[in-house]
Amino acid sequence: MVLAILLIASHPITHLRRAILPDITKVSFLGMGIMGSAMAFNLLKNGQTAAVWNRSQSRASLAELAGAGAAVKAGLEDCVADADIVFTCLGDEQDVISRLTGPTDSVLAFARKGALVVDFSTIGPAAARTVNASLAAAGLRFLDAPVTGGDVGAKNGTLTIMVGGAEADFAEALPFLEMMGKNIRYCGPSGAGQALKLCNQVLCAVNMVSVCEAFALADRLDLDRNLVVDVLQSGAGGSWALANLGKRILQDDLKPAFSLRNMLKDLRLVFDSINLDDDDISNRQSLPGTALSVELFGAVAAENEQAPDAFGTQAMIRAYDQQKAKNLTASGFANTSEELSKR
């Protein structure tokens, strides 16, 4: 079967490849959150049958997926036992390690030997290599394939997917990844996809600082915030964050496409990944913009118990608006940066 899939994956006619694969490959998908459910829908839209599972069986997306043709499974074993490829979109690194490689109620415990496991979660390079080693010892294959593009990219099938692992396994998974993403790149051995994703999260975090500071400056200069987005999104200072999350800020839409909890987790992974020999202070000094974004995201997340999950990353604007309300001066920002450098 692997040889057949590899031959099909190399075929230049993508639509032919997609037409054939659903008949010969059994696919499972674990984790039907905002991202996972949208990605599973795109598999179904492209003619791929799929069995899906979620830890909480009360999610509304499960009924919607069932209506679209997915086989919704109540148990993990029933979902993965016969799968050729198991896709997962889960939580933090401990959740992924437990769900994929735990001794019981895990993919390792239930999947057939030779199955390919493709994880879209952001767990960091070290955890990806740990999962890869554990699955390989059990006769399973693994790709770390974190994604970026947000809920919009997941719904539209335009995600960027960064993949680490064996190149032959990447070739096998590629036809399915093409159903869920647009910019799909093989990055290198196990953990390489995660490494590039952490670079992406640094870009996202610091871009959010720049968007919020542009709005803060516009306020100080008595300028309509709408002009910042409408005019500047197509200029040299434009970015995905400005064009998409900037618009949500203007609409006072702070609901999460990507939650504060998840962003803070990813930025923790950034510092964890470089905190092998160096102390925490030198790590933060080496990435001062990222350290400042952690401080600002953290300030909003600390507002109340619901904030980490109730707010998306664009809610960073609340930290700036609160500073404005308190009439903080520019020296206040300088003092904050100085304090960060000492931590």
Whether the predicted pLDDT of 343 surpasses 80: no
* Residue 76 backbone dihedrals phi, psi, to 5 degrees: -65, -45
The residue ranking higher by pLDDT, 2 or 195, is 195
**Count of positions (residues) in the chain:** 343
pLDDT of residue 340: 40
What domains, with CATH codes, occur in the chain?
2-189 (3.40.50.720), 196-341 (1.10.1040.10)
Write the DSSP string, 142-196.
EEE--EESHHHHHHHT-EEEEEES-HHHHHHHHHHHHHHEEEEEEEESTTHHHHH
Whether the predicted pLDDT of 334 surpasses 80: no
pLDDT tens-digit series, residues 306-330: 999 999 999 999 999 998 777 544 4
Q: What is the DSSP letter of 114?
A: T
Q: Residue 76 burial (CB < 10 Å; 0-12/13-18/19+)?
A: buried
Lowest-pLDDT range, 99-103, 281-285, 308-312? 281-285
How high is the mean pLDDT of the chain? 89
Interstrand relation of 85-88 and 27-30 (parallel, antiparallel or unpaired): parallel
Lowest-pLDDT range, 20-24, 114-118, 246-250, 291-295? 20-24
pLDDT of residue 324: 78
> Token match 């997306």: residue?
61
Whether the predicted pLDDT of 335 surpasses 60: no
CA distance 254 to 144: 30
Which residues lie below 8 Å from residue 137, measured CB to CB, with a gap of 6+? none
pLDDT tens-digit series, residues 27-81: 999 999 999 999 999 999 999 999 999 999 999 999 999 999 999 999 999 999 9
* Residue 50 backbone dihedrals phi, psi, to 5 degrees: -155, 140
pLDDT tens-digit series, residues 169-182: 999 999 999 999 99
Around 96, how many Cα atoms within 13 Å sit in the side-chain half-sphere? 31
Lowest-pLDDT range, 54-63, 105-114, 153-162? 54-63
By the 8 A CB rule, do 276 and 219 touch? no
CA distance 126 to 188: 14
Q: Which residues are catalytic?
A: 197
Nearest alpha-carbon partner for 93 in 118, 70, 112, 119: 119
Q: Count other Cβ atoms within 10 Å, centred on residue 92.
A: 18
Confidence of residue 276 (pLDDT cuts 50, 70, 90): low
Q: Can you count the helices (H) and strands (E) in the chain?
A: 20, 9
By the 8 A CB rule, do 11 and 17 touch? yes
Whether the predicted pLDDT of 304 surpasses 90: yes
CA distance 156 to 151: 9
